[in-house]
Amino acid sequence: MSDVPVIAIDGPSASGKGTVAALVAKELGFHYLDSGAIYRVTAYAALDRGVALDDEVGLAAMARTLNLHFDGIEVYLDGRPVGDAIRTEEAGRAASRIAALPALRAALLDLQRGFRQLPGLVTDGRDMGSVVFPDASVKVFLTATPEERANRRYKQLIDKGFDANLAALVQDLRERDARDANRASAPLRQEADAHLLETTALTIAQAVAKVLEWYRRAQAR
């Protein structure tokens, strides 16, 4: 599958990478994979089925049997949409916890790589460019300040009708950043060959345009 182009966009939680990745995919007519949603669905399924979040073997076994697919940005588990349910703060914290488990990450690796199909794939997550698609055509590390990311998440939750506390969101993001960056398996980091995209002062359109520019420049080589 090395002839199928991949744009890998990594970055911390609530940095806007999912929105940017989905719009880049739409612009190019590529498939889209939200890898964070896979971990959120796994955490959601574990909570729903009574699998302990520290049961590494049990979680890995469950992950191998997940009936999961994407339709655009909507996520389906066992044929039912779970997009809103997996984007709560509880699901996000649970996903961050289980993402540190090596056996679970290994169980989900083939599932993620299976999304690499023609004409191409745009994917976002924490280790898309470092572990899942190390040969990606373009790698991007997209980030913003914790305060800006918390503000974006706050607006997103309020718009969906969820309760949210801005100060608590900032603290939660700082803790999640530290956990993601310091985990032993596939820690969050900017790869040496990844473009840094700092979006604190950028619009979504500007961020999308920058990724498209990098991709087209890479294709022209």
Q: Is residue 159 part of a domain?
A: yes
- Output the six-digit token pair for 214: 């990098």
Nearest to 36 by CA among 136, 142, 184: 142
Reported as a single tens digit per residue, the pLDDT across 92-113 is 889 988 988 999 999 999 889 9
pLDDT digits (tens, 9 = 90+) for 58-104: 999 999 989 888 876 788 999 999 988 898 878 888 998 898 899 99
Asked if the structure places residue 27 within a domain, the reply is yes
Tell me how many domains the chain contains. Answer: 1
Task: For residue 18, say whether it is annotated as part of any ligand binding site.
Answer: yes
Flag whether 12 is marked binding: yes
Closest CA to 126 of 18, 36, 60: 36
User: For position 74, what pLDDT does the model report?
Assistant: 83
Helix (H) or strand (E) holding 28: helix 17-28
Residue 221 belongs to some domain of the structure: no
17 annotated as belonging to a binding site for a ligand: yes
Model pLDDT for residues 131-153, shown as the tens digit of each residue: 999 999 999 999 999 999 999 99
For residue 1, being part of any structural domain is answered with no
User: What CATH number is given to the structural domain containing 147?
Assistant: 3.40.50.300
Residue 220 domain-assigned (yes or no): no
Give the lowest-confidence range in 85-89, 206-210, 211-215.
85-89
Domain that holds residue 135: 6-215
- Write the secondary structure of 144-199 as one string of H (helix), E (strand) and C (coil): CCHHHHHHHHHHHHHHCCCCCCHHHHHHHHHHHHHHHHHCCCCCCCCCCCCEEEEC
